[in-house]
Amino acid sequence: MLEFFKNLKLFTKFQLALFVVSVIAQGFIGVTSYIDGRRLLQDKSFQLLESVTKSKKQAVEEYYQNVENQLLTLSENSSTIDALQEFQQNYEDLNELIVPTDELRSKLKEFYRQEFVHQLNSNSLQNYTVEHFLSEEPNQRKNILQYHYIATNPNPIGFKYRWNRVRADNIYHETHLKYHPGFAKYSQTFGFKDIMLTDLKGNVIYTVDKSVDLGENLLTSYLKSSNLTNAFRKVMKANKKGYVVFADYNFYPPAYYKPTSFIATMVYNGVNKIGVLIFKLSDERINQIMTSKKTWNNLGATGETNIVGRDYKVRTNTRSIIENPLRYYTRMLAAGFDSSVVKKIKRLETTILMRKNTTLATINALNRQTGQFITQDFLGNDVIYTYSPVNIFDKRWAIITEIDKAEVLQAVTDFRNNLLSISVWLFFANFVLGFWLARSLSRPMLKIQKEITMLSEGRFPHKTSKVYKDELGKIDEALNTLIESTRQLAIFAENVGKGNFDYQYEAKSEEDVLGLALLEMRDNLRNLSIEDQQRRWINEGITNINNVLRDHSGTLQDLGKYVISGLVKYLKASQGAFFLLDKEKEEMFLSSCYAYDRFKYLNRTVKKGEGLVGQAFQEEGSIYITEIPDGYSTIQSGLGEAMAKAILIVPLIANNEIHGIIELASFNKFEPYERQFIETVSDNIAISINTVKSGEQTRLSLKESQAKSEKLQVQETKMLQSLTELKETQEIMQRREKELEESREQLQQNLVKMKNMRKEIIKDEKARVNRVIRKYQRRIRDLEEEQARKEADLASKIKNLEKELGISHKPSEGDDT
């Protein structure tokens, strides 16, 4: 072969050498580009999966933290305390005889048989009976509540909370009419399935959803082994105020055997325990977080994120059952899954607690590890797992993001195919050009070979000036462009990896697959970061306002003052006004005004339809304007003549009743997420205003009652003193009368003695005896006169006392004063 090459002409040698070198150069460039591109795309794909897992984990933990804050806030609300006490008292007194017992139990049995037990058995694949829920020894209170609010409720299952006006003469129903709209609005606003109240004995005395657990006793009924009862027992054992218990998912019969989780805390009135507040959580909120509201952002066509518990059972719905349930059931059966499990998934329309994930990713995450690897899923597909632990109260879950390996590496495969196609065309072009450029290849090929060698080693050669003006010079120019383009891609990827999303980079063309893929990746990461910042901003703002509402709920003045200052500071607005409703005058009055970091004390009232605030008052709807005219002061707004670029007016509505208005002005436009924040916290502010009003009315009534009680106590004390004096006077008169009687008896004895002595004494003593008799007679007369005066004084005092006490008494004949 060597001899053959030596015998070739020099032109042929150069042509052959050019072709061989070109092939080698193209091979080096193609291989190194493929290896570097494949590594870069894989690394960025893995980083994207890690970023998605981290953001989902943070969103789940923030959601449960918000749920805990909402539970504690509601448990400390005075309306909740009042409602729990009233419901508890009314539940104990609940005993109606309007509906006959036979008719009541008959109606309940009909409901359980036709609407509840049939669907429960269908979902659970078990054989429950009506007697399992209605025992032979009936719970009369439970039967009364379920009769009125469930069995005779005209609304369908899932909407029975709409029934509130029960036609029965019982104070429980009046209390229900009073508090149910507020609890129902709270449950719908924050996305809870149910809000429940129980007494300390375990009786479920109130629910929003009106499931069949209403009226049941958690400790003695069929619910005694449920996850809800376990949470109730833990709350009862705790002596710490603000202690929260989370009941992990379990099959819950009153929810038609659907997997259900709860969160509970004790409600205190001062330092006394009065009952337990329970939230039945909705799995829809977690599914929205896991599926990005069913868009699966950044996860392609096969990616999904799931949560797995300590029992290795999933706590979320699989993507396939949401997008294509029939295909999912077919694939599970084909993979050898138990047909009863597949049937139960189909009935319940959920994979929660139905599918196990015992992969190494789950085991590592439950052991507090974070990472990723490639393995097969439960259907036998090669997938990439990214995992991390999630701490929810005292539970540790695993969050796992998975995506088909083929989809992740599809970009690498496309890059390889494009590179091969380009290489084939370049080889062909080099062969054609070699014939014409063979004689001038020696010198430029050395230069090109050197630069290609550096590029293959991962080094970027310095850009050189154009030496040749022919095709070889263009190759050199193209090589310089490739080197510069690769250098720019490396710098861009490095900046994106560091979080610098504002670094500028432009794709070389509309067909620049790698450049466009990196730009799309950067935009997705940037949008994810912005959305995460806005969500944290809203959640932090809600928490701050809730803290203000909890710490300054003494008076409406303090509430409005600190709420408006908090909103203005948090939104960085220029001015803010807090209006409250005067029901008697049917107008809004300015309670607090905050502008330029200080409070303004103004007197201003607004009637319906008067200015922008009056318009919001009349329409009970928010107003947002950005087109502010030059003469803004002519607009009758609660903020006076302050010029602004944006005005936001939000009414404060609770229980379908307006309680006030918040008006904010800013020199910058309010972003949509800022307006969403204001709309969200307005409900909490309105509820707090209503609560403070109720508290003020209660304190006023209590003060009036105390004043009346003190007045009656003073009158009672005065009457008791008078009666005591009368009794003492009567005792004194009785002693005097007794002494007078003794004196009379003694006198009679003396007279008898004197008569006996008169026969014995001499006549001279007669005069002295007469003097003695007259003396004793005068003494008797004086005593009788003194007795008469004292009886008259006593009668006068008694008459005056009866006149002061308002007693009318007419002595009867024979009364002895």
- The one-character DSSP state at 668 is S
Are the beta carbons of 547 and 559 closer than 8 angstroms? Answer: no
Which pLDDT value is given to residue 645? 78
- Name residue 276's beta-bridge partners: 198, 266
pLDDT at position 363 over 70: yes
pLDDT at position 141 over 60: yes
Domain region containing 187 = 83-281
**Residue listed under structure tokens 């509430």:** 559
Rounded Cα–Cα distance for residues 298 and 55 (Å): 12
pLDDT level of residue 770 (50, 70, 90 thresholds): confident
Which of 237, 257, 281 lies at the terminal end of a domain, its last residue? 281
Which pLDDT value is given to residue 300? 73
Are the beta carbons of 519 and 532 closer than 8 angstroms? Answer: no
Rounded Cα–Cα distance for residues 130 and 112 (Å): 6
Q: Output the pTM of the full model.
A: 0.51
Residue 163 and residue 91 share a domain: yes
Q: Is 547 inside a domain boundary?
A: no
Least confident of 264-268, 314-318, 515-519: 515-519
3 state SS of 388:
strand
Which pLDDT value is given to residue 600? 67
pLDDT level of residue 813 (50, 70, 90 thresholds): very low
Reading the block at residue 265, the tokens are 């805390």
Which pLDDT value is given to residue 18? 63
Residue 727 and residue 677 share a domain: no
Which pLDDT value is given to residue 436? 58
3 state SS of 761:
coil
Which pLDDT value is given to residue 32? 80
Residue 413 and residue 403 share a domain: no
Rounded Cα–Cα distance for residues 379 and 331 (Å): 7
Residue 516 and residue 421 share a domain: yes
Which pLDDT value is given to residue 812? 45
Stretch 454-479: mean pLDDT, rounded? 67
Cα-to-chain-centroid distance, residue 454: 60
pLDDT tens profile 154-192: 888 888 888 877 776 678 888 999 999 999 999 999 999
Higher pLDDT, 627 or 13: 627
At 493, which helix (H) or strand (E)?
Answer: helix 471-497
Domain of 675, CATH number, reads 3.30.450.40
pLDDT at position 811 over 60: no
Cα-to-chain-centroid distance, residue 782: 92
Q: Is 812 inside a domain boundary?
A: no
Rounded Cα–Cα distance for residues 477 and 402 (Å): 44
Are the beta carbons of 290 and 303 closer than 8 angstroms? Answer: no
Are the beta carbons of 754 and 772 closer than 8 angstroms? Answer: yes
Higher pLDDT, 561 or 755: 561
Residue 463 and residue 400 share a domain: no
Rounded Cα–Cα distance for residues 452 and 609 (Å): 78
Are the beta carbons of 283 and 259 closer than 8 angstroms? Answer: yes
Which pLDDT value is given to residue 250? 93
First vs last Cα of the chain: how many Å apart?
159
- Name residue 66's beta-bridge partners: none
- Strand duo 371-376 + 304-308: pairing: unpaired
**Percentage above 70 pLDDT, the chain:** 84
Q: Is 117 inside a domain boundary?
A: yes
Which pLDDT value is given to residue 342? 81
Residue 477 and residue 599 share a domain: no
pLDDT level of residue 783 (50, 70, 90 thresholds): confident
Rounded Cα–Cα distance for residues 692 and 581 (Å): 13
Residue 748 and residue 725 share a domain: yes
Which pLDDT value is given to residue 756? 73
Least confident of 32-41, 323-332, 634-643, 689-698: 634-643
- The one-character DSSP state at 462 is P
Q: Is 444 inside a domain boundary?
A: yes
Task: Collect all residues with Cβ–Cβ distance below 8 Å to 89 and sequence separation of at least 6.
Answer: none
Q: Is 77 inside a domain boundary?
A: no
Least confident of 238-242, 332-336, 569-573, 651-655: 332-336
Rounded Cα–Cα distance for residues 14 and 8 (Å): 10
Residue 192 and residue 90 share a domain: yes
pLDDT tens profile 28-51: 777 787 777 777 777 777 788 888
Reading the block at residue 81, the tokens are 């305390």
pLDDT level of residue 749 (50, 70, 90 thresholds): confident
Which of 699, 733, 766 lies at the terminal end of a domain, its last residue? 699
Q: Is 488 exposed, middle or buried (0-12, 13-18, 19+ CB in 10 A)?
A: middle
Residue 124 and residue 52 share a domain: no
Amino acid occupying residue 224: K
pLDDT tens profile 74-90: 999 999 999 999 999 98
Rounded Cα–Cα distance for residues 633 and 637 (Å): 8
Rounded Cα–Cα distance for residues 565 and 594 (Å): 6
Domain of 334, CATH number, reads 3.30.450.20
Stretch 346-354: mean pLDDT, rounded? 85
pLDDT level of residue 13 (50, 70, 90 thresholds): low
pLDDT at position 468 over 80: no
Residue 250 and residue 207 share a domain: yes
Rounded Cα–Cα distance for residues 119 and 211 (Å): 14
Q: Is 816 inside a domain boundary?
A: no
Which pLDDT value is given to residue 160? 86
Residue 55 and residue 89 share a domain: no
**Percentage above 90 pLDDT, the chain:** 18
Least confident of 67-71, 268-272, 397-401, 729-733: 729-733
Phi, psi of 207 (to 5 degrees): -140, 150
Which of 699, 719, 734 lies at the terminal end of a domain, its last residue? 699
pLDDT tens profile 246-301: 999 999 999 999 999 999 999 999 999 999 999 999 888 888 888 888 887 777 77
Q: What is the mean pLDDT of the chain?
A: 80
Radius of gyration of the chain (CA): 47
Least confident of 58-67, 433-442, 482-491: 433-442
Q: Is 68 inside a domain boundary?
A: no
- The one-character DSSP state at 671 is P
Which pLDDT value is given to residue 308? 93
Residue 156 and residue 113 share a domain: yes
Higher pLDDT, 810 or 487: 487
pLDDT at position 98 over 60: no
Amino acid occupying residue 349: E
Q: Is 155 inside a domain boundary?
A: yes
> How many domains are there within the chain?
5
